[in-house]
Amino acid sequence: QVHLVESGGGLVQAGASLKLSCAPSERSIRFDTMGWFRQAPGKEREFVATTRRSGGTYYKESVKGRFTISRDITGNAVNLQMNSLKPEDTAVYYCAAAVNRIITSAVADQQMYQHWGQGTQVTVSS
């Protein structure tokens, strides 16, 4: 199990922006697929966005146009720029990674990701 180190969470008001970052503690490992999931209080963890070193970027429909995922290929880091935040975005955000390419039809399946971060809290107040 590789530790994924997350940063960037916080408490902001609606309409504000946050940028989350994630990188593996074991820097020698290169993941093809890296993304973000989130879990709101009392809710099931859900897919937010993912991207592949081998190509392809995918988003949960409700965050399209507001969130942007990007990959630092050389440094093996993944970022999530979150703009126009809404109270419903409040959740613990988890970084996730897979060594191999995850096929498009399965990118939202958390079971496809072998490595996870500890989660970082994002709270959006109204």
pLDDT digits (tens, 9 = 90+) for 77-102: 999 999 999 999 999 999 999 999 99
Phi first, then psi: what are they for 26, rounded to 5°? -90, 95
pLDDT band at 73 (very low <50, low <70, confident <90, very high): low
Q: Which two tokens stand for residue 24?
A: 């593996």
- Residue 50 sits at the vertex; the CA angle it makes with 26 and 99, to the nearest 5 degrees, is 40
Place of tokens 């939202």: 108
pLDDT digits (tens, 9 = 90+) for 2-57: 889 999 999 999 999 999 999 998 877 889 999 999 999 999 999 999 999 989 99
Residue 46's contacts (CB-CB under 8 Å, 6 or more residues apart) are 37, 38, 39, 60
How deeply is 40 buried, as exposed, middle or buried, from its count of CB atoms within 10 A (0-12, 13-18, 19+)? middle
Q: Which two tokens stand for residue 18?
A: 């946050």
